[in-house]
Structure formats: structure tokens, C-alpha cells
Chain A
């Protein structure tokens, strides 16, 4: 297909690519959340003028086939391990079909300054669907790589001036800083989970992230820490690393019921004034509801052993209609 035909076709399909890119960005966010990965996404369909310029500058004989980033999604994560995690997650999901993985961290020439994210060429939806299937390029980067990408684009690729040695040296130092930044972020993040008390912080963050989506209200962190630190025995060692995902799955499965429970008993409800209903105004209530659903014995045993008042837990048990498998 020559440039004229390609441009005509792209103009017709442009709204589909624009909408498709947004859909894929949302899909990536969902997959990332399921794996406990925090990310920021942006999406775009390539402008017609950029499509034309790229085809001409690159001299493509079949621009429609050769230009694979007509739809593009950029994903920025916090650390290098999350880049790998998200790539794995996207390859594992059935929602999109990964056609190719281009890991720039491995392909750039040593010594050459370059951008070091990971690009995935995907097709979505993965199967026949009402929505037309489009191909899309997903770029996954760390925050540092993203910053470097933006700056280096101005400093290197658009520059038509041969940089003097002093400025070149400065650029090398910046590139090294990007790598150093990511390595240090990763190192600290790897060490933090081994610090005392981290498991409680992790639980609070997982709970708050889900709770905010249901109630749009913050809860008292000190109170959360007080409760969660005392029910640590309700979690097995194997459950801890993936608990955020477990909680996310629980909330996803019971979203409708939970929305009703919190609308009636949450921080903005008439019940908020009753002392025994205080937990409904706290994010950790979600963790308690999940544990009551999955391992009521262990939770109740741990709760009682910690000397926490049963009167506070009973409204959760009642409201959720937990089966009477345990003696009252």
C-alpha cells in the first residue's frame, strides 16, 4: 500500500485507533492493578501529519505495515522490577495478544546513549470482538527512564549541532544518573520489605487503595495500624507477598455487595455515629471482610487472642452475612 492509500485508510480509521489506544491504556492499568503494580498511563493515536512525515523520512514502501505505532500507550512505573513484572503480566493476560517484545535495555549498543525502556507490540482485543482489532505499541518505562526520554529527545535527537566535549560529558553523566537512580530506587525498595512493621504498612496501603474506590473517604491510619498489627497471625507467610492482589480480587468479585454495605454503614451513613460500627469507616474493614470470607476461624481466633473487642467485629460479621460455621 503506497503512502496515499495508507493515509486515506488511516484517516478513515483514525477514530478507531484513538479510541482503541484509550481502551488499551485502561486495560494495562487493570492488569497492573491485579499484579499490585502502580503505574501511570497515557495514550494517543499518531497524528496524520506525523504518520506522513515518518513514512517519508524513513522511506517506507508500505507505510501502513511498517508504521506499527499508529496507536501508542506509554506506561510509567516506579522501579525496574515493575517493568519486568508488567511485561510478564501483559504476556500472561488473555485480553491482548503480544506480538513482539523489544527490550531496549538489552538492544542498545554499549557505550551509546539511548533510551532503555521496553516496547511491546500488541494486538487488542486478543480475540474476535465487537470492537475492531488494532495493533498498538506499549512503551513501559521507569520514572527515571521517562524523564531521560523526554530530556534526551530535546538534547540529542533533535539537535543538529555537534555537541562540544564538555556538553557531551554532561550528557553521559545524566545518562549514568538515570541508571543509578533506578538501581538505588530498586535497592531501597528491596530492603524496605524486610524492615520491622513493613507488613502492616503494606496491608494498610492495599486496604486504603481499595477502600477509597468504594467510599471516597480516607480513614485513620493510626487506627488501621492498631488493628492490623494485632491480626498479623491471620495471614500465612505465603499469602503476604500477593495479598494486595488477593484483596483486589475479593473487592472485584464482591464490588456490588460491598458498595451497598459501605453506603449503608460507611463513613457517610447514619450508622457512622454508632461506636460498634466504627470499623466500617476504616479501610482495614475490607481486610477483615476478606479474611472473614476466606478464613473466619483464623481471623476470629486471632482477633480474640489479641484481646480486641468482639463487639466491633460483630457488625461486620452480621452485615456480610458470614456463614455460621463458627460457634457464636
Chain B
């Protein structure tokens, strides 16, 4: 996305009330853009970049309504209408958001990304904190007084919760395209109301395709490793990751959890080359189910060992590299059955009387 090139040009903030509906609790609308000093602008840019790092590509869905027409209008030469357009965006958000949504601020900004005119829409929730300041007691003693604040925005540890950016240059085939992140939601999910009902968009890439790409690219990378012990360890990790109850996949998290430090950057780079996205995405196993049931070890002499990831984890099957550079695969278990083809075309238990 080249986030380093992101620059805010003009922004406006509107206050959104909690809950849905705009009759009892209408949004408090600004009538002019927010004046920005350099320090404010850069601080906001860096906070927005931090959240947008997790954004996924989206495009407008012609079957949905949402605010896509307003975004397009703003991008296609009506940036001067930021105040009017953003007020409409605030009213729509107030009318669309969930009944339980807390109060917050809607930030709408004209920006540049990769030198392209862009529009940023972000719903930011208010944070709480304490401010300490120098004070004096009635007796004239120096002390620090504290003040409870509940209207903080963009604190250093905070993420801008729901954020979308739409560059004009990304409009493709007449369709609005952009990136959306919801750092408030669990894992990779973007709140349905925000992505579809409000923005009128859908994800460009389906989760099952991304999962398959992740699985294939990781497998290709693992297959290139020479060290057989490491190769098996990573193979087991990949299958375990895919089989786990986790709802999402992430190149970074996988590397961090399972790979040696010196392998992580190369893994990241290879995944990037295979177009596996940097950001976390939802895991969907529809297309990889058949590939993740068993770990298969295949040797140069055409010996195969097939095992479940559990058998690898609990030490039933292990692999070591000998000083001569060969691999020693060890199976510590009770043999239940031997089967084969050709001269041994029938199968029978090994403990038979014959």
C-alpha cells in the first residue's frame, strides 16, 4: 500500500452518539475542517498508518447501498465539498451503526497516498486517562493534582478502530477500491455493518483462496529447507496451524510462533513473492482440507512415512540428521498392520500365525 507516502491534507471531525438512529441522538456535526498544526497532522498520520497496516483490500459491491456514492463524489473532483460530504457520512454512520456501538468521533480526511487523491474515513472511540499537573495545597505545599479525562483521542497506544482509505487511482473498471481495517474486531473480522451496510463494500479476496495460497506458499518454502529435522518441525507447525481453532492466519504470527529467528525474514519475503498478504486474514479451510490431515515424509529411496501431526508432537515419529548428513526417521510404536502391492498384494496383521 506504500503507507510511507500517506499525507493528510484536510480533515474534519464529527461527534457520533452511541447507538443507532439519528432522531433522538443526532451526531454533533462540525461546520468547518479542523485546523491542523504540523505536529497534530504527523501524529494523526502515524496513528492512521499503524491501523492501516492491518487493512485488507475491498471494492464496492454494486448490490449494496452504503456511502460509496459519497466517497466517489468526494474523490472525483469535489474535495471542496468535504464539509458537506463528511456531514452526510456522519449522519449515515449514526443511522447504520449497531445499537450497542459506543459514542465516538468520525474522522473524514482528504489525503494523498502514492501521490493519489484519497479519502480516509475512520470511526474512533474515545479513551480514558488521567492527567497529572503541578499544583499547590491550601497550605502552600507542592503536589501533583490528577484530572480524569474521558475524551482522549489517538493516544500513543491506541489504534484508530475502524478505518478505510480509498485512493482515486485505485478505481478500477468503474469500481471504487480501497483498504479497510477494523482493529476493534476480533482477529481479522471487519464489523459487518461498517464494511457492507455503511461503506457498501466487500473484500476483494475470498478467505478460502487466501488460506490456500498461504498453505501452498508455506509448503513450497518448507520443501526447500535442507535440514530434515527443521523441515519436519516446520511441516508439523504448518499443519497444526491450519488445523487449530484459531480463526485467522498471519504470516507474521506463524513466523513468530514457529520459525527460528534467522528464518523469519526469508519466510516473510517468500510469502510476499507469492502474494500472500501481510495482514492477518480469516482462515477458511474449504480448499485445503485434503492437504492438512497427515504429515508425509518421503525419502530419496522412495520410503514414505505418513503420520498425524499428533504423532509428530508426542514423539511417536521423530527425525534426526546423522553426522554424515543423512536423515534418521524413527517410529516408536507398536506395528498394527503392514500392507502393500505387487507380491505383497494382500494385507494381513503381522502377528498372524504364518
Interface residues of A (CB under 8 A from B): 254, 257, 260-261, 264-265, 269-271, 274, 276, 294-298, 301, 311, 315, 317-327
Contacts and interface: CB of A to CB of B under 8 A. Distances in A.
Contacts of A265: 42
Interface stretch (B11-19, B249-257, B326-334): B249-257
B37 to A, nearest CB: 7
Nearest to B255: A297
B262 interface: yes
Given A297-B255, A321-B49, A276 B156 contact: yes
Contacts of A274: 39
A271 B2 CA distance: 22
A301 B253 CA distance: 14
Contacts of A319: 4, 45-46, 49
Given A295-B265, A297-B261, A315-B46, A321 B1 contact: yes
Given A270-B39, A298-B261, A319-B4, 14 more contacts: A257-B2, A264-B38, A296-B265, A296-B268, A301-B264, A318-B47, A318-B50, A319-B49, A320-B3, A321-B49, A323-B279, A324-B54, A327-B252, A327-B256
A324 B265 contact: no
A318 B49 contact: yes
Contacts of B43: 271
B189 to A, nearest CB: 16
A75 to B, nearest CB: 36
B93 interface: no
A325 B42 contact: no
A47 to B, nearest CB: 47
Interface in B265-280: 265, 268, 272, 278-280
B252 A325 contact: yes
B7 interface: yes
Contact of B256 (A317, A323, A326): A326
B96 to A, nearest CB: 28
Nearest to B115: A256
A301 B251 contact: no
A325 B278 contact: yes
Nearest to B41: A264
A303 to B, nearest CB: 12
Interface size range on B against A: 35 or more
Given A298-B264, A315-B46, A321 B252 contact: no
B65 interface: no
Contact of B252 (A257, A315, A317, A324): A324
Interface in B1-57: 1-7, 37-39, 42-43, 45-47, 49-50, 52-54
9 shortest interchain CB distances as A-B pairs = A321-B3, A297-B264, A323-B278, A295-B265, A270-B39, A318-B46, A270-B38, A324-B53, A325-B252
Nearest to B50: A318
A271 B261 contact: no
Interface in B287-317: none
Given A322-B53, A327-B252, A327-B256, A298 B262 contact: yes
Nearest to A301: B261
A296 to B, nearest CB: 7
Given A294-B265, A326-B252, A321 B4 contact: yes
Nearest to A264: B42
B278 A257 contact: no
B23 to A, nearest CB: 40
Contacts of B261: 297-298, 301
Most B CB within 10 A of own CB, among A297, A322, A325: A325
Contacts of A321: 1-6, 49, 52-53
Contacts of B279: 323-324
Contacts of A315: 46
Contacts of A270: 37-39, 42
Contacts of B46: 315, 318-319
Contacts of B2: 257, 321
6 contacts: A297-B255, A297-B261, A318-B49, A321-B49, A323-B278, A323-B279
Nearest to A291: B265
A274 B42 CA distance: 12
Contacts of A317: 50
Nearest to B259: A297
A323 B4 contact: no
Contacts of A276: 156
B265 to A, nearest CB: 4
